[in-house]
Structure 1
Amino acid sequence: MPVFYAPESEAHDPQFWMLRGVPSTNKELPERAHRLLAGLARLGLTPQSPPVADQAALRQVHTPDYLAFLETAWAEWQKMPNAGPEVVPNLHPQKDRHHYPAGITGRAGWHLSDTGCPLGQHTWAAALRGADTALAAAAAVRDGAPAAYALCRPPGHHATADNAGGHCFLNNSAIAAQSLLDIHPRVAVLDIDVHHGNGTQEIFYDRADVLTVSVHTDPSNFYPFFLGYADETGSGAGEGFNLNLPLPQGSGDDLWLATIDKALARIADFQPGVLVLALGLDAHENDPFKGMKVTTAAFTRAAELIRAAGLPTVIVQEGGYLSNDLRDNIEAFLRPWT
Structure 2
Amino acid sequence: MKIYSHENLSLHRPLPYFSYGKMHEPLEIPERMVEMLKAPAALGLEVTNAKEVGMGPILAVHDFGYVEFLKHGYDEWMAVEEDLGDQVQTGIFVPYDNPGLGIMAKAAKYQADDSAPISEHSWISIYWSAQTALNAAEALLNDDSDSSNDTDVQLCFSRPPGHHARKSAAGGFCYLNNAAIIAEHLRQKYAKIAIIDTDMHHGQGIQEIFYDRSDVLYTSVHGDTVNFYPGVTGHEFERGTGEGEGYNVNFPMPHGTDEEGFFEYVDKSIDTIKTFDPDVIVHVLGFDVYKDDPEARCKVSTEGFKILAQKMKALNKPLIVLVEGGYYIQKLNDNLQAFLSGLIEKKS
The corresponding residue for 2:118 is 119
- For residues 199-218 of structure 1, what are the structure 2 equivalents within 5 Å? 199-218=205-224
The corresponding residue for 1:314 is 320
Give SS of 1:9's match: helix
User: Amino acid of the residue matched to residue 257 of structure 1?
Assistant: F
The corresponding residue for 2:31 is 31
Alpha carbons 1:286, 1:323 under 8 Å: kept: no
User: Amino acid of the residue matched to residue 32 of structure 2?
Assistant: R
User: Amino acid of the residue matched to residue 287 of structure 1?
Assistant: D
Alpha carbons 1:208, 1:239 under 8 Å: kept: yes
The corresponding residue for 2:146 is none
Q: Does 1:99 align with 2:98?
A: yes
Q: Does 1:188 align with 2:187?
A: no
Unaligned runs of 5+ in 2: 144-148
User: Amino acid of the residue matched to residue 84 of structure 1?
Assistant: G
The corresponding residue for 1:12 is 12
The corresponding residue for 1:140 is 139
Q: Structure 1 residues 216-225 or 140-149, which shifts more?
A: 140-149
How far 1:100 moved relative to its partner?
Answer: 2.8
Of residues 273, 294, 298, the one that matches 1:288 is 294
The corresponding residue for 2:40 is 40
Deviations 1:164-201 (A, max 9, x none): 00100001111111111111110000000000011111
User: Amino acid of the residue matched to residue 201 of structure 1?
Assistant: Q
User: Amino acid of the residue matched to residue 47 of structure 2?
Assistant: P
User: Amino acid of the residue matched to residue 251 of structure 2?
Assistant: L
Q: Does 1:250 align with 2:232?
A: no
Alpha carbons 2:19, 2:114 under 8 Å: kept: no
How far 1:83 moved relative to its partner?
Answer: 2.5
The corresponding residue for 1:60 is 60
- Give me the whole-angstrom Cα distance separating, in 2, the residues matched to 1:56 and 1:290: 35
The corresponding residue for 1:329 is 335
How far 1:115 moved relative to its partner?
Answer: 1.5
The corresponding residue for 2:73 is 73
The corresponding residue for 1:220 is 226
Deviations 1:110-136 (A, max 9, x none): 111112111011111111100010001
User: Amino acid of the residue matched to residue 277 of structure 1?
Assistant: H
User: Amino acid of the residue matched to residue 85 of structure 1?
Assistant: D
Alpha carbons 2:289, 2:297 under 8 Å: kept: yes
Give SS of 1:150's match: strand
Deviations 1:226-269 (A, max 9, x none): 11100000011111110000001121111111111111111111
Q: Structure 1 residues 144-153 or 185-194, which shifts more?
A: 144-153
- Give me the whole-angstrom Cα distance separating, in 2, the residues matched to 1:134 and 1:337: 18
- Give me the whole-angstrom Cα distance separating, in 2, the residues matched to 1:52 and 1:220: 39
How far 1:6 moved relative to its partner?
Answer: 1.0
- Give me the whole-angstrom Cα distance separating, in 2, the residues matched to 1:285 and 1:46: 29
Give SS of 2:90's match: coil
Alpha carbons 1:66, 1:162 under 8 Å: kept: yes
Of residues 158, 161, 168, the one that matches 2:164 is 158
- Give me the whole-angstrom Cα distance separating, in 2, the residues matched to 1:290 and 1:186: 31
How far 1:293 moved relative to its partner?
Answer: 1.1
- Give me the whole-angstrom Cα distance separating, in 1, the residues matched to 2:163 and 2:327: 15
Give SS of 2:48's match: coil
Give SS of 1:316's match: strand
Give SS of 1:216's match: strand
Q: Does 1:304 align with 2:305?
A: no
Q: Runs ≥4 in structure 1, deviation > 4 angstroms? A: none
Alpha carbons 2:95, 2:108 under 8 Å: kept: no
Alpha carbons 1:174, 1:203 under 8 Å: kept: yes
Alpha carbons 1:158, 1:165 under 8 Å: kept: yes
Give SS of 2:67's match: helix
Alpha carbons 2:98, 2:109 under 8 Å: kept: no
Of residues 146, 155, 162, the one that matches 1:149 is 155
- Give me the whole-angstrom Cα distance separating, in 1, the residues matched to 2:224 and 2:34: 30
User: Amino acid of the residue matched to residue 44 of structure 2?
Assistant: G
Alpha carbons 2:152, 2:319 under 8 Å: kept: yes
Q: Over aligned residue pairs, what C-alpha RMSD do you find?
A: 1.2
Alpha carbons 2:19, 2:115 under 8 Å: kept: no
How far 1:94 moved relative to its partner?
Answer: 5.3
How far 1:17 moved relative to its partner?
Answer: 2.6
User: Amino acid of the residue matched to residue 101 of structure 1?
Assistant: G
- Give me the whole-angstrom Cα distance separating, in 2, the residues matched to 1:324 and 1:11: 20
Alpha carbons 1:287, 1:321 under 8 Å: kept: yes
The corresponding residue for 2:237 is 231
Alpha carbons 2:213, 2:244 under 8 Å: kept: yes
Alpha carbons 1:4, 1:47 under 8 Å: kept: yes
